[in-house]
Amino acid sequence: MGRKKQLPILRGVTITDIGSEGNAIAKVDDMVLFVPGMVPGDVVDVRVTKKKKRYMEGVALEVITPSPGRAEPPCRHFGVCGGCRWQHLPYDRQLFYKAKQVTDNLTRIGHINIGQVDPILGSEKIYGYRNKLEFTFSKRRWMTREEIGTEAVVTEPALGFHIPGIFDKVLDIKECLLMSEPADTIRNEVRKYALEKRLPFYDFREHSGFLRNMIVRKSSTGEVMVVLVTTDALPGERDLLLGFLTERFPEITSLYSIINTKRNDSISDLQPVHMAGSMFITEVMDGLRFRVGPKSFYQTNSGQAVRLYGIVKEFAQLTGRENVYDLYTGTGTIACYLASQAAGVTGIEYIEEAVADARVNAVENGISNAFFIAGDIKDTLTDELFLRRGKPDVIITDPPRAGMHADVVNAMLRSGADRIVYVSCNPATQARDIGILSAVYDVARITPVDMFPHTFHVENVALLVKNARTG
């Protein structure tokens, strides 16, 4: 076998743009070079890690000349934790590149004509905006920059976030700027307690240990929920830890325990056990109240969610006479938000627990014209449903990142709806779906919305109206 070809080091490369997935871009000999973690204007030395016919990938070895467009990241974990990769970009530039990502996907890649393009709606809070964080326990923590390259042997456990792309390594987090207190204090006190009591943190390779995950939620009303996820190894110690939490943090208004003996961290198929306080916490949105349980889906940026739903309502143009379908309704937040201005709303969601929450939310808010169906949307959104519930005048759709199944898109085409409001967290799959819908619908207007500052993720709300060819 021949030796693997040595990839080059490129000197003095100027970063010129930011592309998909938030990676910085340079041009070298008419080839595109992707370099993560850089800013347009940076001049860097780059080690090429992958070379294809049309592009290269690399890592920056040294920033020779920093861009004047750089910002100083306030987080001590920046560059190692993968959660806020754009802290080194000023917020106005973050918004610029997010809006560009939306328009590029729709127009340049999807070849979709857009009527009105609104300015991107930035988040009023760029730190402390999250209402939910999930922390992971790990037997072995990720090494710091100072430790990497030394002969240090790290055996300490960690309570923090997974390192991107590495399933069994967790960065020990001392401070996270994404959520307000008491999230940091709860996490740090639980770590301290666990170390003092010598409680075994989870080993991802051996699938052994006791402590697995901890979810902290804080609602817009100030209520706090903690969900502790463990194995079934030490039930007595679990009860003592839960007791410690209730005594140390009286501000915890809802406390749950979940036993997970599986090889993955998903809790969607597990039963939470209520341990103390209320069964749920409450989110308030524009006068509506929503119950949030341990497995409930709720928009992670509460403040920005209100503004996002305001755009949805504006695009829907409801007069009180319309039959509205809300696809991927989750816990029914959009359905409940629109119900007062519609004749009726039919929400469809494949997660049964979410549908149960949606029905409760409707009752709690005195909404009698919202009907919720649990089932796979591709199997549920059918001609039979149109006969039973009436054809929609307006469709709201808010699918996951993968976008919509082809059967769902085709059912929407058959529905005869006058308007579709498409809320997306992935402009690429939104462009793909709209490309199919363009047989009947034109994009009249879009409004990008930033729900997650310091990340490359962006939401986009698109208004689709029947084109002149179909009436």
Q: What is the mean pLDDT of residues 422-443?
A: 96
pLDDT of 470 > 80? The answer is: no
pLDDT of 412 > 70? The answer is: yes
User: At the fourth CATH level, which superfamily is domain 92-125+301-466?
Assistant: Vaccinia Virus protein VP39 (3.40.50.150)
Choosing from 75, 81, 176, 425, the catalytic residue is 425
pLDDT tens sequence across 227-278: 999 999 999 999 999 999 999 999 999 999 999 999 999 998 999 999 999 9
CATH label, 132-285, candidates 3.40.50.2300, 3.40.50.150, 2.40.50.1070, 3.40.50.10810 = 2.40.50.1070
pLDDT tens sequence across 288-309: 999 999 998 899 999 999 999 9
CA distances from 201 to 141, 198, 257 (A): 10, 9, 16
pLDDT tens sequence across 387-407: 999 999 999 999 999 999 999
pLDDT of 149 > 80? The answer is: no
Q: Which residues of 185-203 are buried (b: 16+ CB within 10 A; e: fewer)?
A: ebbeebbeebeeeebbbbe
pLDDT tens sequence across 94-108: 999 999 999 999 998
pLDDT of 166 > 70? The answer is: yes
In the chain, % of residues over pLDDT 70: 95
Active site residue 75: no
- Which residues lie below 8 Å from residue 207, measured CB to CB, with a gap of 6+? 263
Q: Measured between alpha carbons, how far is 243 from 235 in angstroms, rounded to an integer?
A: 12
145: alpha, beta or left? (left if phi > 0; alpha if psi -120 to 50): alpha
* Domain locations along the chain: 9-65, 92-125+301-466, 132-285
Q: Measured between alpha carbons, how far is 213 from 231 in angstroms, rounded to an integer?
A: 10
What pLDDT score was predicted for residue 243?
98
Identical fold at 9-65 and 132-285?
yes
What pLDDT score was predicted for residue 333?
96
What pLDDT score was predicted for residue 20?
77
User: At the fourth CATH level, which superfamily is domain 9-65?
Assistant: Nucleic acid-binding proteins (2.40.50.140)
Supply the mean pLDDT for the chain: 93
pLDDT band at 1 (very low <50, low <70, confident <90, very high): very low
* Closest-CA residue to 125 (of 362, 417, 451, 418): 451
What pLDDT score was predicted for residue 42?
96
